[in-house]
Amino acid sequence: MANPSSLELDLVLQSDFSKIWASHQFQPPVKAQWSDYGYFERQTTQELFVRLGNIYDVVRPTGKLSTFLLRRLEGREWVPAIDYPWPQEDVSHAFELSREEGERLEEIAVVRTLPDDCEYRDFFWEHTERIAEDNGLKVHDIVLCTCSEEIFHYAGAFVGCEPSPHTDLTTSEALPERIFFHQLPLLGSGDAPSPWGYWSLYSEPTPGPWPSFEIPGVELTCSVRSNYARVSTFEGEMLVYLNQLRRARDRASDASRAREGRGRSKEF
């Protein structure tokens, strides 16, 4: 085996090779904040997320954040994303409710993402070993919420669903041609409010509170979905092995410098 001190380990960690984590969606959704980390604990038939901390307890934030908007009409593929800074004021998104074409699905997704994943690289390579060891876990047990650096805010209108049995169908002919989803501004903390918007029959914003309401045969949704990231068993073992090589290299380098220092002191 090559001498660990000769390996270009730092170059490896700076390359795409170091992005060893994979993204998964919580099923079902869990109560976790963006960038919380923890592990899953199986209870009966469910896996519950157990929070251990937040990435920013151990990693310095870069402060980089971008937002983009996706739209899907008629249930087709999502339209390519466009840059979309989260509005500082209430913004309305119009949804058509025409029934001439039968069933109709229209959705938007506002996605907040970190364009630079150095925070996640730092977390997995520099901290997951210690976190796992401190909690009696393996590296592949540690999960990081809302990675692949994204959190999705969805709003949608599905026309053609079965009306509620309590709905007065005599009003169906008076249905509006469109309805509006009002996206609320971010909180002072920089987080999105929960819920992140409200439905209305009016294009102009209205003061809260905003009660939920029903439209016959129309399903209105407003949700937030987050992902989590983890490494596989093999990737976790590889991470531990490469980190061992890094530590061995650093110890050899420190010992070499110490010998050089002692040698210079003898010369004087």
pLDDT in tens, the chain (268 residues): 444 444 577 777 777 778 888 777 666 556 666 678 999 888 777 778 899 998 888 988 776 677 889 888 876 788 888 888 898 999 999 998 865 556 778 889 988 876 567 888 889 999 999 999 999 999 999 998 864 456 788 889 888 655 555 544 444 455 688 899 999 999 887 788 888 999 999 999 988 888 887 888 888 999 887 777 889 999 999 999 989 988 888 888 778 777 777 766 665 5
Tell me what pLDDT residue 10 has.
Answer: 72
Tell me what pLDDT residue 102 has.
Answer: 61
Tell me what pLDDT residue 31 has.
Answer: 66
Q: Spell out where the chain has E strands.
A: 22-25, 36-43, 46-54, 66-73, 82-83, 91-96, 104-113, 143-145, 150-159, 178-183, 197-200, 218-230
Tell me what pLDDT residue 38 has.
Answer: 93
Tell me what pLDDT residue 159 has.
Answer: 82
Classify each residue of 97-120 as buried b or exposed e, where b means 16 or more C-beta atoms within 10 Å of its C-beta. beeeeeebbbbbbbbbbbeebebb
Tell me what pLDDT residue 165 has.
Answer: 52
Q: Is 172 helix (H, G, I), strand (E, B) or coil?
A: helix
Q: pTM score, two decimals?
A: 0.64
Q: Spell out where 97-177 has E strands.
A: 104-113, 143-145, 150-159
Residue 20's CB is within 10 A of a number of other CB atoms, namely 19
Contacts of 95 (CB under 8 A, 6+ apart): 106, 156, 157, 178, 179, 180, 181
